[in-house]
Structure 1
Amino acid sequence: MRIGIKRLLLVEDDRAIADLVKFHFTRAGYTVTSTPSGEEALILVDEIRPDLMVLDWMIEGISGIELCRRLRRKPATANLPIIMLTARGEEDDRLRGLETGADDYVTKPFSPKELVVRAGAVLRRVRPALAAEMLDYAGLEMDLAAHRVRRDGQSISLGPTEYRLLRHFLENPGRVFSRQQLLETVWPHSEDIELRTVDVHIRRLRMALGEHGGADLVRTVRSAGYSLDSEAVV
């Protein structure tokens, strides 16, 4: 059973291996973006905000080890789950990869199916909300498999955009997101969408969540953005 789409950034310069990994992760329900370049990977991390990275040690330009080191130094990517994928199987190499910040280390040749399973294990350990089939917070329940939402046992009807908004909030309760951050994360193609569009869908989400009564769970933070907060004050 698929548990919802997660974003994978694959950094691998062997085309055949990249295609193989992409095939298996796509079949497992991931959205996969691939690049052979460490420099491009640094740009893509900011653009697509991946939930997981599979990173080859020996890549074009910046090495995988150096890329991992740079990502761990940045607050925005310090906790990004990273699996190192490499032909370097010596113990010292594995230790170096893990000490640099990799969450797991897979040596080539490898089983693509095992890699997918290990990726799921890393997500469950590092970012459990992404590996869950059910998200819940303050009486809200989102069944990712059935695509259903309930509040205090009452069904909530949401449009596709409101559903994506709520899911993002439920995966990050209490965290404040700016309109620009929400636009980049929730809208697949946000280039031609105005920031005020976020406000419109936030209002729709509020109305849907309040259909059966109860406190407003969406907090407005002046000059900052919105968050899902059980102590929300509009």
Structure 2
Amino acid sequence: MKGIEWSDYTAPLDSSWTWKKITHTMQAFKQAYVGNKWLGSDSPYTPQSGYDWMRIKHPLVNWRFICWNSMNVHKNVFIFWAFMHRRLLTKDRMARMGILADLTCDIYASSNEDHEHLFYYCPSSVRCCSLLQQQLHISFNFSELVHWFSVAKLNGLQRRFIGACHVALIYWIWTVRNEARVLSYVRRPEDVVNQIMQDIHTRFLRLNLSVLHVKDLVWLQSLHLT
């Protein structure tokens, strides 16, 4: 690099992958400088501003408050994210990929398995959702999950707890489906809901929320958790 400005430097072809990546990144960031000013303003460069400039910005989704919830069990979040993006490998999706021909639902053989059937109409899933909502003292159409959370009058604890339960419900519906497919065994909806409540309650206790309002304690007691 002797005698060459860093901004004009290009890595030789025989350089290591790491060095090439560093210099390529430098060239990319060079575009954001006007003269010696970052983004043409007097604001100094910061790693955060560089990251925001480089990454692709997507609009915020309206279900983010359900997904990125501290009370969610970690293993449930990815399945919920895939569910919201309709990326779970249901039978109809695998058939379109040429992987599978049989579309019959392994839980409810009278219907074919697709996203809507599995999560909204399969009798096992409908029963799980009904029992869970009875346990939580709420009621809404599960297909309107995001809309219900956007209009429901809930405090912070209730919103996080109920949201985590429904994220877990997606995970367990998918688990029941996989067990039925691989093991030919369908877990009872009552057992699914009991497992959900146990998981979320355990997660709640681990968060060590030492200061709770009286209304929160009364609500938790109504769920027979405390």
Higher relative contact order (CA closer than 8 Å, sequence separation 6+): 2
Q: So what's the TM-score if we normalise by structure 2?
A: 0.32
The structure with more helix, counted as a fraction of residues:
2
In terms of fraction of residues, the more strand-rich structure is 1
The structure number with the bigger radius of gyration is 2
TM-score, length of structure 1 as denominator length: 0.31
